[in-house]
Amino acid sequence: MNKEVEAIIFDVLAHPARRDILRLVAYGDDGASYTEVLSELGLSTGKLNYHIKQLNGFIEKNEHLRYTLTPLGMASMDLMLSLKEKPTNDFGKYLKVRKPVSLMPAMRWMAYILMFSLTIPIFFTGVQLYESLLKGGPIKGVLFLFAALASGIAVFAWIVYMVKNAPELLEHLEKRFYG
């Protein structure tokens, strides 16, 4: 097998959805139809269309409009089956799962630092507003202090909301960037 074909096979097999599509097509009676793959994998039509396009040369439609494996698809399945037949518990001591570094701890600490740095100005703005109200300060000054205090509290609340919801948002971003 030449290196270009190897690279193409490993690139196609890199995504779990494409491996699942190959398995469905290989193990289905006379292949698999588009709707069978769609319902079995639960992918959106757009994602399924993308992965089927990436599998061009690995699967093809037959005269019954069912996907079947090409010789390249069969070679890919042979590779997957050869790995499945090996005792994987022996691989564990040699295989180190590479997991990308998560952004979550750094983002959480940055948010905590920002929250702490906001509490000091919010506190002093609140004290100034209280003193202005007690002493009967100018209305423009009181309104300005009230607006500054309200803005600080709103930003603080937004940061608290983001810290609470950041795991889902960051997980989504990490999936987009790290695959």
What's the rounded mean pLDDT across residues 96-107? 65
If we measure between CA atoms, which residue out of 69, 65, 24, 64 comes closest to residue 42?
24
- Lookup result for tokens 């292949």: 31
CA 90, 26, 35 angle in degrees (round to 5)? 125
Residue 65 DSSP symbol: S
Handedness of CA 104, 107, 111, 117 (dihedral sign): positive
Task: Using the structure block, give the residue that is written with the tokens 């929250």.
Answer: 115
Percent of the chain with pLDDT over 70: 80
Is the pLDDT at 81 greater than 70? The verdict is yes
Specify the pLDDT at position 98: 57
The CA-to-CA distance between both ends of the chain, in Å, stands at 27
Distance from C-alpha of 113 to C-alpha of 116, rounded to nearest angstrom = 5
Residue ranges of the domains in the chain?
3-87, 104-178
Asked if 160 and 115 count as a contact pair (C-beta separation under 8 A), the reply is: yes
CATH 1.10.3720.10 fits 3-87, yes or no: no
pLDDT digits (tens, 9 = 90+) for 105-146: 777 788 788 888 888 888 898 888 888 888 888 888 889 988
**pTM score:** 0.52
